[in-house]
Each structure stands twice: as C-alpha cells, then as structure tokens.
C-alpha cells in the first residue's frame, strides 16, 4: 500500500510517465574549451542561499517510508544546504521539523498549504508555520479535488495504526479516514478541502501572514501572469507528479512558456520527473531557477533514513556538477537555452 501510494499517478498514469519522457526528449548541446576547473552550484531562492538549486518537494506521510519521516528529510536537506517544503499532510508536526534549525539555523524551510473549508483551521496552520520560522507559504493550487489514483483506491489507502496527519490531528483531531472501497485520502479531500478556491482567495491568505507566497501547480502562461498580478513571489511549475489530472502536460514542457510569460517578475521553479543531474541542468536551461525533487528522496528515506536521503542529494549534486563541466558551464549563470534542443527538431 505504501509503495503504491508513493509511486502511483492518476488514471492511466500517462502524465506520470510523460514527466520522465519530457526530459528524455530534450537533448543537450555542450560547449567546448571552457575553463570549468572550478564550478559554483550555489544560488538564492527568495533571497535565501542554497548550496545547489534544489529543494525537497512537499510529500505527505513520510513516516510510511521511515520512522523519522519528515524530520530525517529535513535534517538531510539542511545538512546539504538545500531547501525543504513541508507538507500540510506531514506525519511530523510543523514545530518538530522546525526544531532542526537549532542545529542548522540557515536551513531554508517552506510550508506547503492546502486551504480547508474550515478557514479557522487554515489560519491556525499558517500562524503555526509563521511562528515556527518557516520562510514562505507554498500554496498547492492544482488539487481542488484529489486526482483518482486507482492503485490507492484498490488498496483502500489509509494510514496504518500509529501514524497520523500530525498537523491536523493536533489542531482538530482530523485524520485520514478508513473508507470502504475507496482511498481514505480521496475521501478526506472531498470532505475537508475547499474546491471553491479562486484567485480572490490569495488576498485573504496574504492578509493573514506576511510570508512571501509561492504557488505550486501552474502549467499555463496566462495563469502565471495572473499569479504575478496577485503578488505571488515564486511559481512552481508542476503537475503534482502526475497525481492529479491525467494527460496534463509534462512540467518540463510547460516551463518555457511560463518563464517567458512571467518575464522575471517572479522566481520560477519546477518539479516532476527529475532523476539525474542532467535533468536539473535541462530545467535550468529552460529558465527554472531551481527544481524540486520528490520520489527519489522517499526511496532514499525508505532504504536508510536520513543517510539515504542525504545520499540521494549527494548523487544529484555530483551529477549536476559533472553535467555542468561537460556542458561548458562553470556557474549556474552560464546555463541558458542554447544548451538544449528538442530531439524532435
């Protein structure tokens, strides 16, 4: 059940597969005879430094992979100098994950938010994240309803005994229900999340919290422009890892249009299908300032907890550094659209 929950996509999993295929369609055009003896992978996101252009995507229920769950992931991210986005549906609390900044004071932590029908619950989550020192709110906008994940439905997905949606349980006793013949998470979304959310609600969210607003789940240039007009500071180009609308465009294929539309007025990140350092290079070449990775971290976490997650980050860092060297890029600023070409052209 846990493996299917982590690995599955919506419907026929067309978008899940296409997220990977998009990277395979895009080819690299390396430059030669460039001094790449000293490479710099560092960047900033919303003014905060990162050792490399990488954040851990918000992923629910990480204690399904390892008992330390989100705490182990947060420690791995902070030790490597990359960011982490904590899910509303985490199995560790906002405050527990924030405590790691006692040892890593510069750790970049954002809080991913689902807006519930109960606005007071949403407000409480936001206030807790702000008081705990998170640096941005990352609002997921592509889930007015949960995508139909058929593997979860067949498994009647629910959390096993002893695991809870920790942030919700501590506020109002909410948790993921057991649902006969259905995914408990699908039932939770239908009961609790607000499908009436519109652009107008961003003003309310910004009025209750001074943190910069990031929105995750944009796949169109016109939506990206609207986001900037609403004061959004960063956009994550994402199709939810292929877990929402099946047959939606691959995140990588949507990236260039959104970068052009935003025209530098907000920072652009992307997730979906990244498995190698060359994938990160391709995303940066198309205009992303950083990428988010999801499932690879879960696999590392399942194998060896914090050490496993750390190893995944280290692999990606080494691969990006090598890919930059072999492409003639000594620093991230050297990466541009001339480095990539569609295999179909």
Q: Give tens-digit pLDDT for 322-334.
A: 999 999 999 999 9
Distance of CA 310 to the CA centre of its chain: 17
Specify the DSSP class assigned to residue 132.
T
Vertex 58: Cα angle to 90 and 175 (nearest 5)? 25
The pLDDT of residue 345 is: 45
- Residue 345 belongs to a domain: no
Model pLDDT, residue 184: 84
- Smallest CA-to-CA distance from 139 within 52, 91, 67, 208 is with 208
Would 6 be classed as within a structural domain?
yes
CA distance linking residue 276 with residue 255, whole number of Å: 18
Q: Which CATH number characterizes residue 129's domain?
A: 3.20.20.70
Helices (H), 11-57: 14-25
Give a yes or no: residue 125 inside a domain.
yes
Instruction: Please tell me the distance from the alpha carbon of residue 176 to that of residue 166, in angstroms, as a whole number.
Output: 10
Residues that constitute the known binding site for glyoxylate: 5, 114, 149, 240, 243
240 is catalytic: yes
Q: What is the domain range of residue 31?
A: 2-340
- 184 within domain boundaries: yes
Q: Please answer whether residues 53 and 85 qualify as being in contact, where contact means their C-beta atoms are separated by less than 8 angstroms.
A: no
Look at residue 76 and tell me if it is in a domain.
yes
First to last CA, the chain: 42
Enumerate the known binding-site residues: 5, 58-60, 87, 112, 114, 140, 149, 216, 238, 240, 243, 271-275, 294-295
The pLDDT-based confidence of 171 (bands split at 50, 70, 90) is confident
Measured distance CA(244)–CA(16) in Å, rounded: 10
Report if residue 83 sits inside a domain: yes
Share of the chain above pLDDT 90, in %: 90
Domain count for the chain: 1
pTM of the model: 0.96
Q: Mean pLDDT in the chain?
A: 95
Which residue from 312, 343, 330, 300 is spatially nearest to 23, judged by alpha carbons? 343
Distances (CA, A) of 252 to 109, 125, 248, 342: 24, 31, 12, 12
How much is the pLDDT for 247?
98
Asked whether residue 82 is assigned to any structural domain, the reply reads yes
Neighbours of 95 (CB within 10 A): 15
Q: Is the pLDDT of residue 295 over 80?
A: yes
Instruction: Enumerate the H helices of 32-181 as residue ranges.
Output: 69-80, 94-98, 119-131, 150-155, 166-172
- Per-residue pLDDT reduced to its tens digit, 39-82: 999 999 999 999 999 999 999 999 999 999 999 999 999 999 99
Binding residues for FMN: 58-60, 87, 112, 140, 216, 238, 271-275, 294-295
* Active-site position among 66, 116, 164, 240: 240
Tell me, what's the pLDDT at 344?
61
Q: Would you call 217 helix, strand, or coil by DSSP?
A: strand
How far from 286 is each of 33, 108, 282, 315, 338, CA to CA, in Å?
23, 24, 6, 22, 9
Rounded to whole angstroms, how far apart are CA atoms 164 and 158? 10
Please say whether the beta carbons of 29 and 326 come within 8 A: no
Q: How many angstroms separate the CA atoms of 255 and 277, rounded? A: 18
Q: Supply 318's token pair.
A: 């080494």
Query: Under 8 Å CB-to-CB from 215, ≥6 apart: which residues?
Result: 138, 139, 140, 141, 202, 227, 232, 234, 235, 236
Q: What is the pLDDT of residue 176?
A: 82
């Amino acid at each position: 059940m846990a493996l299917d929950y982590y690995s599955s996509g919506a419907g026929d999993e067309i978008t899940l597969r296409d997220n990977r295929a998009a990277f395979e369609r895009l080819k690299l055009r390396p430059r030669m005879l460039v001094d790449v003896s000293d490479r710099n992978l560092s960047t900033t996101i919303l003014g905060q430094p990162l050792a490399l252009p990488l954040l851990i995507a918000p992923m629910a229920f990480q204690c399904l992979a390892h008992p330390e769950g989100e705490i182990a992931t947060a420690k791995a991210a902070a030790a490597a100098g990359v960011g982490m986005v904590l899910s509303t549906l985490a199995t560790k609390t906002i405050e527990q994950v924030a405590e790691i900044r006692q040892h890593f004071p510069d750790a970049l932590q954002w809080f991913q938010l689902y807006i519930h029908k109960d606005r007071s619950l949403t407000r409480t989550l936001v206030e807790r994240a702000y008081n705990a020192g998170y640096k941005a709110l990352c609002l997921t906008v592509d889930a007015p309803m949960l995508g139909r994940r058929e593997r979860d439905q067949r498994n009647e997905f629910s959390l096993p005994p002893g695991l809870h949606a920790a942030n919700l349980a501590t506020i109002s006793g909410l948790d993921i229900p057991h649902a006969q013949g259905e995914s408990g998470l699908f039932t939770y979304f239908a009961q609790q999340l607000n499908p009436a959310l519109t652009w107008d609600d961003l003003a309310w969210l910004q009025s209750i919290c001074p943190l910069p607003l990031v929105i995750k789940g944009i796949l169109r240039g016109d939506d990206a422009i609207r986001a900037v007009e609403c004061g959004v500071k960063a956009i994550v180009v994402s199709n939810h890892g292929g877990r929402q609308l099946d047959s939606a465009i691959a995140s990588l294929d949507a990236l260039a249009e959104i970068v052009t539309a935003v025209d530098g007025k907000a920072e652009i990140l992307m997730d979906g299908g990244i498995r190698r350092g060359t994938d990160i290079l391709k995303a940066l070449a198309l205009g992303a300032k950083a990428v988010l990775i999801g499932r690879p971290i879960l696999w590392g976490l399942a194998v060896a907890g914090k050490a496993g997650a750390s190893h995944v980050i280290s692999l990606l860092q080494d691969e990006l550094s090598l890919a930059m060297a072999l492409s003639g890029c000594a620093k991230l600023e050297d990466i541009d659209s001339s480095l990539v070409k569609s295999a179909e052209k």
